[in-house]
Amino acid sequence: MPVRYPLLSLLLLSLSLPTWAATHKVDLDYRVRFLPETNQAEVSLTLGQGERVLSLDFDLGKEGRYSDFSADGQWQQEQPERGIWQPAAGKSRLSYKVRIDHERQPGSFDARMTEDWALLRGDDLVPSAVLRQQDKTELVARLQFELPKGWNSVETGWPRIGKNRFRIDNPLRKFDRPTGWMVAGKLGTRRARLGETDVAIAAPVGEGMRRMDIMTLLTFVWPEMQAVFPRDPAKLLIVGAGDPMWRGGLSAANSYYMHADRPLVSENGTSSLVHELVHVFSRIQSRDRSDWITEGLAEYYAIELMRRAGGIGEDRYQRMREQLTRWSKPVKSLRTARATGPVTARAVLLLQELDREIRQKTKGNTQPRSLDDVTRGLMRLDKASTEDFIDIVENVMGGPSRVLDTRLLR
């Protein structure tokens, strides 16, 4: 049978083509202009080739934060909570305004803008959306800020690629948007490189943020954090401010917020700073009334990593356990949709007992195990349930756990 050389040549040529040749890259440029006089930001999205994007279906929420929409192509908002943009061909732009201030509780803000600064989550600047696009299309997203007169800086959890300009790239999402904490205005910033991560601690001037204290504690605990969590974020941003900002800590994938008055290590020996850092590194999320896993592990490691780093002695560790026992005494079950303080405290005690059990049962193995191995297993899941947790523990231990055979988990 004769060889069809032209067909063979075409086949070899197709195999030699680079994989990127099949992907069509489209620029997506975000531009944000803060308007302190109206407590708003003006946001625009510009697509280099609008015809490659069929539609963006935005979740605008129930609070009416977004207004003044203007679009090239078609904009439909048949219900207040959703808006659909069908871009025009060629260069296509959508613009709108968003209200910045947001009260988490009456008189306590988790997003705020003053004459001198703005502190917020980028998730609110650009709402989440369902993207429909042509096959083999990849958006290349960048974020540019236009700052009011007198504002000297802006910082986000994304890599900086120019003056007030950042590259947005999340491999897990088709629609790259500028999520995570950000702060702009008259800022003070401390920077360092810890491991493979560029760390920035930024806060408005005069808000009492203890930037050097935070950086020192991070440097102290960072090697222990890396030993547990096999993840090196390219960048980490920590932001904060004083009252009337919310007096707590809130994490995102590449950044987190802490109130300026929050102690780095509290009187009971735990650390909100390390607790939120665990959330950033682990990214463990829960489902099926299993928030005790997410919050319990964050608080467990907030204590354990300080202990491993030498910041907590054995006597203090035992006193902390006694305090956790007293605080969590009324808890009958860990199975709740949202873990409260006492539930989290009881989860920490259970995790400490479980770690000892795993170490004892596997100490004769070629590779002794610990709760760290369970945690790394949980990091591979999108969301973990109590049943998932038990399965991973049994796999690590090579059999059932006595500690987990408890009514607390039923």
pLDDT tens digit sequence for 337-381: 999 999 999 999 999 999 999 999 999 888 999 999 999 999 999
Residue 384 located in a structural domain: yes
Query: Average pLDDT in the 383-390 region?
Result: 97
Does 87 reside within a domain?
yes
Final residue of a structural domain among 249, 280, 311: 280
Look up the pTM and report it: 0.88
- The pLDDT score that the predictor gives to residue 6 is 52
In a domain, 335, yes or no: yes
**Quick one: pLDDT at residue 173?**
86
Does pLDDT of 48 surpass 70?
yes
Same domain (yes/no): 29, 126: yes
**Does 275 fall in a domain?**
yes
**What's the mean pLDDT when you consider all of the chain?**
93
Is 336 part of any domain? Answer: yes
Is pLDDT above 50 for 10? no
pLDDT in tens, 307-316: 999 999 999 9
Look at residue 13 and tell me whether its pLDDT is greater than 60: no
Q: Tell me the CATH number at 31.
A: 2.60.40.3650
Region 307-328: mean pLDDT is 94
- Residues 69-100 pLDDT 10s: 999 999 999 888 999 999 999 999 999 999 99
β-strands 255-258, 235-239 pairing: parallel
pLDDT of residue 253: 84
Q: Are residues 292 and 267 in the same domain?
A: no
Specify the pLDDT at position 1: 46
Cα(253)–Cα(258) distance, integer angstroms:
15
What proportion of the chain, given as a percentage, has pLDDT over 70?
Answer: 95
CA-based nearest residue to 82, from 128, 134, 139: 128
- The model's pLDDT over 157-199, given as tens digits with 9 standing for 90+, comes to 999 999 999 999 988 788 999 999 999 999 999 999 999 999 9
**The predicted structure's pLDDT at residue 18:** 54
Which residue's structure tokens are 């986000």?
Answer: 156
Bond before 400 cis per omega within 30 degrees: no
Domain count, the chain: 3
Element (H, E) at 14: helix 5-16
Of 231, 260, 280, which residue is a domain's last?
280
Q: E strands of 180-338, at which residues?
A: 181-185, 187-194, 197-204, 235-239, 249-251, 255-258
Looking at residue 23, its pLDDT comes to 86
Say yes or no: 136 and 217 in one domain: no
What letter does residue 196 receive in the DSSP assignment? T
Greatest CA span in the chain, whole angstroms? 86
List Cα–Cα distances, 266 to 128, 177, 263, 322, in angstroms.
36, 35, 6, 16
Confidence at residue 11, expressed as pLDDT on a 0 to 100 scale: 46
Q: Tell me the mean pLDDT in the region 287-299.
A: 97
What gap in Å lies between CA 141 and CA 283, rounded to an integer?
23
318: in domain: yes
Angle between helices 291-308 and 272-282 (to 10 degrees): 120
Domain, as residue range, for 37? 23-99+122-177
Between vectors from CA 199 to CA 198 and to CA 203, what angle results, nearest 5°? 140
Q: How far apart (Å, rounded) are the C-alpha atoms in residues 286 and 384?
A: 5
Q: What is the pLDDT of residue 3?
A: 47
